[in-house]
Amino acid sequence: MADHSHGSPESTGVVARPGQGDVQKFQNPGLPPHRPRLADRDPRAEKRAERQVAILFLVSIIGTVLFFVGYFLIPLDETIETLRLQNLTLGLGTAFAMLGIGVGIVHWAKTLMPDHEVSEDRHEIRTEADRADAEKIINDIVEETGIKRRPLIRNTLLGAMLLAPLPAVFIFRDLGPLPGDALRHTYWDAGTRLARDPSGTPIKASDVTIGSAFHVIPEGLSDSEHYLEEKAKAVVLLMRLNPDSLNPSPGREDWGYQGIVAYSKICTHVGCPVALYEQQTHHLLCPCHQSTFDLTQECKVIFGPATRPLPQLPIAVDDEGYLIATSDFQEPVGPSFWERG
Amino acid sequence: MSSTTTQSTYQPKTNVGKITNYVDSRVGGSGIVKEFGRKIFPDHWTFMFGEVALYSFVILLLSGTFLTFFFDPSMAETHYEGSYIPLRGVEMSEAYATALNISFDVRGGLFMRQVHHWSALLFVAAVSVHMLRVFFTGAFRRPRELNWVVGCVLLILAMAAGFTGYSLPDDLLSGNGLRIIDGVIKAVPVVGTYISFFLFGGEFPGTVVIPRLYVLHILLIPAIILLMIVIHLFMVVTHKHTQFPGPGRTNDNVVGFPVGPVYAAKAGGFFFIVFGIIAAISAAFTINPIWNYGPYDPSPVSAGTQPDWYIGWVDGALRLMPGWIAGIPLEWNIPMPWGVNTLSLNVLLPALVPAGIVFTLMFAWPWIESWLTKDKREHHLLDRPRNAPFRTAVGVSGVVFYCVMWAAASSDLIATHFFVSLNDVTYWLRVLFFVGPIIGFMVAQRIALALQRKDREIALHGRETGRIVRLPHGEFIEVHEPLDEYKRYNLVNYESHSVLPAEADVNGHVTRTEKARGRLSRFFFEDRVAPVTPAELEAAHSHGHHDAIAEQHDKAAVSK
């Protein structure tokens, strides 16, 4: 017999009534006969269920006691172990206290309370008589206001209502300053020494061996009034490669120093710190969304969701042998924004 | 007046009676008891998910209120002086310091933090699973479309509540989460930079964002959630609950247990069970150990970190999007009369498009389905998912779409755990992003149709008993035991949509949308399994008289 047969045409009544007075469908046999539970027939089972419920409530009482044991008898002594032990005791105490009550009540309902299913009729959500009454009431209300007959009142009210919310929008103007050119500048400037993050001690070119990498902040950053905001833009990764493996583009040949190069650590995707340096492949990897930048191609994106290379910080060495920036970044660091250009 | 006569005639005898009567005669409680005391609620285990959501929200309110007594959402600098030795003397915000104090110096504070975080995870999960239940059983159909919309709003609010809360402790993880949000906001054309500066009160991270998120998290969002829950439950009472089809259940009745005592006991007891389970999880499994992460600092980041699960799919979409496709960058510099503007499609597309598709389809689905099937009737009986293969297939397709993005949020952990290349994981997930939903659709539709055929087979020929009987003329047959009428009714009582070709409107026109509807209808309903009719059962019985004979033999043999 084919399974793909066509059934009866859909009935088009407002309320779906499957199986009601339709010869193509089975008649609803009505509720199945009630099957008594063990506790309905056997007084011993009933007694047993009663005891089980009571035991569950006792478990709850024990749980509450356990909570107080943890609260008063486990002193916190600055070690994480006692904290964990207390957390475990409080948690298990609460869990038993709650589960004892919950499981007890549900067990009580399922074994001892009546389990006869009852049928109740649904009612129309809206009766036609109510609808007509409501319509009449609303018409009367509208009529009594006279808003239809007085367009002058209606139109001026509409105009007033449209304008009135505007202050509620504009009042939020002072949530923050306008961006201005804040995103185009960082703490770096010509002559700023490169310093270790977070200690702030300056780095000598001779400290940077081939293959090593430094997390860098500008020297003096900790004196900045807006430390975190400045740091969020200024953090830099410093690496030294064999100079032959770097391929600087025209105009950027002197941005490094003997294979030492510095790149912004802020991902050009959505701004996570690009903190992972793969020394062997010379790749920088952002742990948030896996954008991968190739150091040997001026941090061009070779994988992942970022589009732009990491901005390079031009560096040189000062008289005392310390690494310095020769200028600020030549482009905005971090994620793109509409005005970036 | 009748009320005065009632008051003068009825004299309560007990003290409880006096108090009850005092209140009742002033607020009209008798009417409420009459209306709700024995109201019938249908019972099914899948109806519990909504309860889990409601109860975990209550637990969120309770534990959250406790936390507010000890938490200071300030980004002012301080030096930590609390009990956790590794961080002593470290400079950090008041928010992080007080979050540490809750964990280490307030007895039960860590437990309450754990309860709060775990119930938040459970809340969003329960809302999601509840919505899947509603979707797959067709409970969103008329008259419940608007309540479905309220539910969708609640899901978005639940995610918003979760995210604003996640950012409050101002630890390294939450700070990086905020930074990603900042990066996404900045990608919004025209207003993005301004929104970012207004949200953070200047440049990221600034000193105001946490107090602002705090107000949203503890006041505005929970208040709206509460309002939506009230509307949601009010509509549940108005509509009365749906029920699964079955013997005795019709579209015009509600079969179940009365509120008092059975349903109230089960639902009330269930609150304590949900609380107990959350407490047990909070006791045993650490969530968000902020003391391990340290205060927020824009420079460090730890690899392998994960957002809370409900944000994962958006984060995964960000990861899946390539910055370059076939040598073409997805960030465009567009020359304008006033200068050059940057459109960052590599951020905008994944942040907006998948979520846009998911939420648009979700909100609109009740109307899409009724347009497609031309079914505008009221439905109070649910569909078993297999009996609506088209809807089940669409739902599974959506779930696969979601889960591919969700998996992408863990692409690095998948790579490190299974020793595969991170890039390969991403490439495969990019393929699955497009192919997965199609495969999911086809597989789910086939499985649903196959299950329907199985039901049909069982309804027509009964249950396979596994008893092989040899007939007198040598034929071996397996005895099929016919179903009783109640079990059979479960298998035959459903409606199966068939193809509705495009129809002409009143002017005799077949509009273009109507033609599209006709094509979609054919695509969705071409393959269908019709419910067994009484005539088919009759025919099957007369064909299968061997079975019947064999069964008589068999029964005779058993009873001897």
User: Residue A303: beta bridge partners?
Assistant: A292
Q: Is the pLDDT of residue B558 over 50?
A: no
Please say whether the beta carbons of B167 and B331 come within 8 A: no
CA distance B94 to B97: 5
Please say whether the beta carbons of B236 and B147 come within 8 A: yes
* Confidence band, pLDDT 50/70/90 cuts, at residue A76: confident
For residue B121, what is the enclosing H or E element?
A: helix B109-136
Inter-chain residue contact B279 with A88, CB threshold 8 Å: no
Q: What angle do CA A25, A31, A36 make, to 5 degrees?
A: 150
Report pLDDT for B547: 52
Mean pLDDT for the stretch of residues A146-156 = 94
The H-assigned helical ranges of B462-528 are: 485-492, 512-525
Minimum mean pLDDT range among B265-269, B300-304, B370-374: B300-304
Contacts of B266 (CB under 8 A, 6+ apart): A105, A106, A109, A110, B43, B257
Is the torsion defined by CA of B392, B393, B396, B398 positive or negative? negative
Q: What domains are there in chain B, each with its CATH number?
A: 2-33 (no CATH), 38-245+260-295+308-383 (1.20.810.10)
The H-assigned helical ranges of B374-507 are: 389-408, 411-418, 422-461, 485-492
Among A113, A266, A307, select the one facing B346 at the smallest CB separation. A307
Please say whether the beta carbons of A121 and B253 come within 8 A: yes
In chain B, % of residues over pLDDT 70: 95
Burial (CB count <10 Å: 0-12, 13-18, 19+), residue A333? buried
Interface test with A, best of B185, B346, B485 (most A CBs within 10 A): B346
B223-265: pLDDT as tens digits: 999 999 999 999 999 999 999 999 999 999 999 999 989 999 9
- Chain A residues with beta carbon closer than 8 angstroms to that of B205: 228-229, 232
Mean pLDDT for the stretch of residues A41-46 = 93
Inter-chain residue contact A235 with B298, CB threshold 8 Å: yes
- Chain B residues with beta carbon closer than 8 angstroms to that of A32: 247-248, 486
Q: Give this prediction's pTM.
A: 0.92
- Chain B residues with beta carbon closer than 8 angstroms to that of A106: 265-266, 269-270, 273
B140-184: pLDDT as tens digits: 999 999 999 999 999 999 999 999 999 999 999 999 999 999 999
Q: Is the pLDDT of residue A19 over 50?
A: no
Cβ–Cβ pairs < 8 A, chains A and B: 394
- Chain A residues with beta carbon closer than 8 angstroms to that of B247: 28-32
Report pLDDT for B1: 42
Q: Is the pLDDT of residue A7 over 50?
A: no
Could you say which DSSP state residue B385 is in?
A: G
Chain B nearest CA to A156, separation (Å):
32
Amino acid at B242: T
The DSSP string of B258-294 is EIIIIIHHHHHHHHHHHHHHHHHHHHHS----GGGT-
- Chain B residues with beta carbon closer than 8 angstroms to that of A308: 331
Mean pLDDT for the stretch of residues B503-519 = 91
Tokens of B194: 């301004």
Contacts of B115 (CB under 8 A, 6+ apart): B59, B63, B278, B279, B282
Q: Is the pLDDT of residue B269 over 60?
A: yes
B329-364: pLDDT as tens digits: 999 999 999 989 999 999 999 999 999 999 999 999
Query: Which residue is closest to B280 within chain A, CA to CA?
Result: A95
Query: Which residue is closest to B495 within chain A, CA to CA?
Result: A18
Query: Which residue is closest to A277 within chain B, CA to CA?
Result: B303
- Chain B residues with beta carbon closer than 8 angstroms to that of A6: 498, 530
SS3 (DSSP) at A284 = strand
Name the A residues in 129-168 with CB < 8 Å from any B CB.
none
Please say whether the beta carbons of B400 and B436 come within 8 A: yes
Q: Is the pLDDT of residue A15 over 90?
A: no
CA distance B459 to B488: 6
Report pLDDT for B271: 97
Tokens of B315: 């984060």
Ranked by mean pLDDT, which of A72-86, A126-140, B16-30, B471-485 comes out on top?
Answer: A126-140
- The overall longest dimension of chain B from CA atoms, in Å, is 99
Q: Is the pLDDT of residue B15 over 70?
A: yes
Report pLDDT for A198: 87
Report pLDDT for A23: 60
Residue ranges of domains in chain A: 38-111, 184-325
Inter-chain residue contact B323 with A304, CB threshold 8 Å: yes
CA distance B514 to B516: 5
The DSSP string of B172-228 is HHHHHHHHHHHHHHHTSTTTHHHHHHHHHTSSSSTTTHHHHHHHIIIIIHHHHHHHH
CA distance B133 to B136: 5
Q: Does A231 touch chain B (CB under 8 A)?
A: yes
Interface test with B, best of A236, A338, A340 (most B CBs within 10 A): A338
Mean pLDDT for the stretch of residues A80-90 = 92
Query: Which residue is closest to A235 within chain B, CA to CA?
Result: B299
CA distance B523 to B471: 46
**Cβ atoms within 10 Å, residue B232:** 18
Mean pLDDT for the stretch of residues B520-539 = 90
Inter-chain residue contact A341 with B330, CB threshold 8 Å: no
Amino acid at B72: D
Please say whether the beta carbons of A282 and A290 come within 8 A: no
Mean pLDDT for the stretch of residues B84-97 = 94
Tokens of B138: 């067709």
CA distance B393 to B74: 49
Q: Is the pLDDT of residue B549 over 50?
A: no
Within 13 A of A265's CA, how many CA atoms are on the CB side?
27
* Confidence band, pLDDT 50/70/90 cuts, at residue B507: confident
Minimum mean pLDDT range among B233-237, B297-301, B539-543: B539-543
Q: Does A175 touch chain B (CB under 8 A)?
A: yes
Report pLDDT for B410: 93
SS3 (DSSP) at B552 = helix
Scored b (16 or more CB within 10 A) or e, B409-445 reads bbbbbbbeeeeeebeebbebbbebbeebbeebbeebb
For residue B256, what is the enclosing H or E element?
A: strand B253-258
* Confidence band, pLDDT 50/70/90 cuts, at residue A161: very high
Q: Does A335 touch chain B (CB under 8 A)?
A: yes
B190-217: pLDDT as tens digits: 999 999 999 999 999 999 999 999 999 9
Inter-chain residue contact B375 with A10, CB threshold 8 Å: yes
CA distance B529 to B370: 20
Q: Is the pLDDT of residue B483 over 60?
A: yes
Mean pLDDT for the stretch of residues B437-464 = 95
Q: Does A1 touch chain B (CB under 8 A)?
A: yes
CA distance B38 to B161: 36
Q: Does A88 touch chain B (CB under 8 A)?
A: yes
Q: Is the pLDDT of residue A152 over 90?
A: yes
Report pLDDT for B11: 87
Which residue has tokens 């949200």? B199
User: Residue A285: beta bridge partners?
Assistant: A276, A292
* Confidence band, pLDDT 50/70/90 cuts, at residue B55: very high
Mean pLDDT for the stretch of residues A278-303 = 94
Q: Is the pLDDT of residue B389 over 80?
A: yes
Query: Which residue is closest to A86 within chain B, CA to CA?
Result: B108
Within 13 A of B328's CA, how many CA atoms are on the CB side?
5
A290: alpha, beta or left, given left = phi > 0 and alpha = psi -120 to 50? Answer: left
What is the third-level CATH fold of A184-325? Rieske Iron-sulfur Protein (2.102.10)
A223-264: pLDDT as tens digits: 898 999 999 999 999 999 999 988 899 999 899 999 999 999
